[in-house]
Structure 1
Amino acid sequence: MTGQEQTQNQWRDTALGLVSTQSFPAIVGIADTMLKSASVALIGYEKIGGGYCTAIVRGRTADVRLAVQSGVEMAEQFGQRATSLVVPRPLPNLEAVLPISGRLSQLAQGGGNSQLSHLAVGLLETRGFPAMVGAADAMLKSADVHLAAHEKIGSGLCTAIIRGTVANVAVAVDVGMHEAERIGELTAVMVIPRPLDDLEQTLPIASCWIEKPMEIPLKIEEKVQETEELLIALPDLQQLQIPDDR
């Protein structure tokens, strides 16, 4: 029996756990709590629009029940209304239809990490895209952090996801909160100091952090100098007389 077949057999005697809220930073924080409260694997997130998103975990039934209970309690601390479900011994057809089969295969084979692995995670959610962009810009300029990705879950809710050291992420998120409130509506923030591997592999990461970061050389000073020289020469060019060949 291959390693993948052994892993698949291991999953057959387990349960699925689902916890749903209306905030992406909240659901990531809930997922982090579930992972740290019991021996479960985070399969991923399902977003159905209207701001609703669900964290899906897998493990032994007792562990899943404990993780889901911890997730619901954490949602209440966030001020979020959560719905939850535990499915013991799900049949293969249910798993095949749900958006988790790819993640189960990744768990069997072992997933890779991005260049931002093991850095703290900061999530800042706004209602409205301009507020998120403004907050992301402020966060990048206030501390040594990287914008890893952004996530949209409907109802105008969008989240900027940053990575960096705990101290830098905390500073950046604090600055981003004020900028988001200045521009529009801030709905949620979350800082996760030590994300586990499962959380790492399910967070949205921009492709530039999975592959080699894209290098865009910006020779600003040279461009400014060329523009100034063109402006100086412009009056002389206007005085030139074009010969009439007729």
Structure 2
Amino acid sequence: MPQAVGVIQTVGFPPVLAAADAMVKAGAVTLVYYGLAERAEFLVAVRGHVSEVTRAVEAGVKAGEETPGGIVVSHYIVPNPPENVESVLPIHFTEEVEDFRFSL
């Protein structure tokens, strides 16, 4: 069953760390990607059911913005990414995250 993907992009490391922490605590999601975007911007991506990803992204945005000096540049949710998107973007479940994969 396809799962949604939610992404948050922040300026600096502390807000993305706070966002990632809040996301995995707020919803039944699996963190599938974390990385450096550009210009000291970081991003974090989670996968799960649409309702869980929505709840997680909301919590992540709030946590990122509440971090001292935290700036959330953008955030978005893709409810059902097609396989060709998964094949070119780092949003698939890898062996590294498989042990932590949350399934309902």
TM-score, length basis structure 2: 0.85
Q: How does 1:12-31 map to 2 (within 5 A)?
A: none
Q: Secondary structure at the match of 1:154?
A: coil
- Residue in 2 aligned with 1:19? none
1:176 is matched with: 60
Query: Which amino acid in 2 is paired with 1:154?
Result: E
Q: Please report the RMSD computed on the Cα atoms of aligned residues, expressed in angstroms.
A: 1.8
Q: What percentage of residue pairs aligned between the two structures are identical?
A: 32
Residue 28 of structure 2 corresponds to: 144
> 1:193 aligned to 79, 83, 93, which one?
79
- Structure 2's unaligned 5+ residue stretches are none
Which is helix-richer, 1 or 2? 1
Match of 1:166 in 2: 50
Alignment TM-score, normalising by the size of structure 1 = 0.37
**What is the letter of the counterpart of residue 197 of structure 1?**
E
| Contact 1:151 1:204 (C-alpha < 8 Å) held by counterparts | no
Is 1:118–2:28 an aligned residue pair?
A: no
* Structure 1: gaps (5+ residues): 1-116, 216-246
CA offset digits 1:67-126 (Å, max 9, x no partner) = xxxxxxxxxxxxxxxxxxxxxxxxxxxxxxxxxxxxxxxxxxxxxxxxxx7210000000
1:205 deviates by 4.5
Letter in 1 for 2:76: M
Q: What code does the residue aligned with 2:42 have?
A: C
- The Cα shift of 1:210 comes to 2.3
CA distance in 1, matches of 2:52, 2:32: 14
Quick one: distance in 1 between partners of 2:79 and 2:99?
A: 27
2:18/2:64 contact within 8 Å kept: yes
Question: What secondary structure is seen at the aligned counterpart in 1 of 2:2?
Answer: coil
Deviation at 1:211?
2.5
Runs of 4+ in 1 over 6 A off after TM superposition: none
Is the Cα contact below 8 Å between 2:5 and 2:48 reproduced in 1? yes
Aligned residues: 97
Counterpart-to-counterpart distance in 2, 1:159 and 1:194: 20
TM superposition shift of 1:180? 0.3
Structure 1 Cα separation of the partners of residues 8 and 94 of structure 2: 22
Secondary structure of the residue aligned to 1:204 is coil
CA distance in 2, matches of 1:178, 1:211: 30
**Higher radius of gyration, 1 or 2:** 1
